[in-house]
Amino acid sequence: MSRQFTPSVLTANDLLEGDVIYLDPADRWVRELDRARLFTDARAAAEALDMAEGQQDRLVGAYLAPAIAAPEGPQPGHFREAFRAQGPSNYAHGKQAQA
């Protein structure tokens, strides 16, 4: 029995900068989770993941992360993704320095 697909965003890490990135509805990589495309269709999500895995010169570690639809855009569906969306935890830089 296969596992039921849950709404997800496509995420990875930028190869050069290390930042967490997300695929947006226009197939561009963005750094803000709330701008990410929320996949509700398993086939579309799998196709996007295949596309991302072919971008080894741009990103690393692409995967589908559970997400929840919200009026302000996708929100983390798991504590790990909430942690990743906040940026580095060792000291204030990147997303944390901007806040």
pLDDT of residue 61: 97
Contacting residues for 59 by C-beta, under 8 A, at least 6 apart? 12, 13, 14, 15, 21, 29, 52
Specify the pLDDT at position 26: 98
Query: Could you read off the pLDDT of 9-59 as tens digits, one per residue?
Result: 999 999 998 899 999 999 999 999 999 999 999 999 999 999 999 999 999
Q: What is the mean pLDDT of the chain?
A: 90
Give 10's Cβ-side CA count (13 Å radius).
28
Q: Indicate whether 6 pLDDT > 90.
A: yes
Q: Given this model, what pLDDT does residue 96 score?
A: 60
In this structure, are residues 72 and 45 in contact, taking their beta carbons and an 8 Å threshold?
no
